[in-house]
Homo-oligomer: A and B are copies of this chain.
Amino acid sequence: MNPVICFLTDFGHKDGYVAAMKGVILTKYSKARFVDISHDIDPFRIESAAYILKSVFPFFPEGTMFVVVVDPGVGTTRKPVVIRANGKLLVGPDNGVFSWILKDYPFEAREISNRSLLRPEISSTFHGRDIFAPVAAHLLSGITLEEVGPLISPIESPWVRPDIHDNGEIIGKVVHIDRFGNCITNIEKPLGTEKGVVLLPNGIEVYLKKTYSDVPNKAPLALWGSCNHLEISLNKGNASKQFGISIGDNVLFKPSHFTVDT
């Protein structure tokens, strides 16, 4: 049984940054197998990376390791961390990128403090290669979590918990915009909520539907996306461009008993 190492970064595809991390791991653990989740997270958008991580985490088998490097604070005092949750391991900066995992699963988190696990020289700009990759390789080779460093309480960012009102309305925010322009929010499906309406920042109302083809081409809809998060879409179009929606924008969701789904 040879687990897979998944990478999630904002390093893009032009450069050698991801490959350097893979080379470091292969040098220490030659059997390593890799899956790239994404390297096209908008630079420094921690909430987007956190959502993507959530969207794939449950689908990987036990033993999978996730190396996440979206790290605007590289070179500052933010801590490097290893987290075990759901039988899987996460390695990366403690900056909120693991927020959804910390909310959804019991976990054990340890600060990476054992200097002997790292590369001898540590660049101030590339901890992915010099800290996270070698720690991942050591974990693959069988060191225990205790050897990594002491227990810590990692950061859980506030945007994993949208504002739920007593009347059932939810104020959430856009945390990710996907390749098709679908605007994915931090609002998770409340049990049995099949109807409702979403108020966009520009005042437009969009109705909750089941799937894209429930509306005409280029018409807007809201739906519970493939991870049960509320998303704003345009059938065969780009909702983000059409409505000028960006990551961080607020949306208001009203479940059906407040509105009529026409």
Contacts and interface: CB of A to CB of B under 8 A. Distances in A.
Interface of A: 1-2, 4, 6, 11-17, 19-20, 22-24, 26-27, 30, 34-44, 52-53, 55-56, 59-61, 64, 72-76, 123-126, 129, 176-180, 210-213, 223, 225-226, 236
A115 to B, nearest CB: 19
How many identical chains are in the complex?
3
Nearest to A228: B123
Contacts of A59: 19-20, 23-24, 27, 129
A58 to B, nearest CB: 8
A37 to B, nearest CB: 4
Given A27-B60, A30-B1, A223 B20 contact: no
Contacts of A16: 37-38, 52-53, 55-56
Contacts of A52: 15-16
Contacts of A223: 124-125
A20 B55 contact: yes
Nearest to A29: B61
A232 to B, nearest CB: 13
A15 B73 CA distance: 23
B226 A12 contact: no
Contact of A129 (B23, B27, B60, B226): B226
Nearest to A39: B13
Contacts of A39: 13
Contact of A26 (B4, B20, B23): B4
A35 B34 contact: yes
